[in-house]
Amino acid sequence: MKLNKLAGYMAIAGVCSSAVISLPAIAQEPGKAATAQTKEANDALYTQLPFADKTDFANAHIILKEETLKQAENQGDVRISGNHAKVVDLLSYMDKFEFWFNIVTP
């Protein structure tokens, strides 16, 4: 009985290892060129996306905690419309953690 389980596990391992070994061969196949329809769809989408808008990058200093929301607001980098107290209240619920935390530890 134990031998059958072992044989089954070995068969599964063999299938998995052969699939892993063949993956690099698949990855080395050259890509095919995009069709005219794909290029046209990509170009149409490219014109709709706001690549020139760098607001998120400009406001990254707030996310990186280099500047507070209040400082950015005072400098005119950020404008809050509506109930200012609600925005401050919402931000108070956000977790505070070290920016350079360990992702993988032994």
Condensed to tens digits (0 to 9), the pLDDT of residues 12-22 reads 666 555 545 55
For 22-43, the pLDDT digits (tens) are 555 556 677 788 999 999 999 9
Nearest to 63 by CA among 86, 18, 27, 97: 97
| Mean pLDDT of the 48-72 span | 80
Taking the complete model, does pTM exceed 0.85, yes or no?
Answer: no
Give the pLDDT confidence of 81-97 residue by residue, as tens digits: 899 889 888 878 877 77
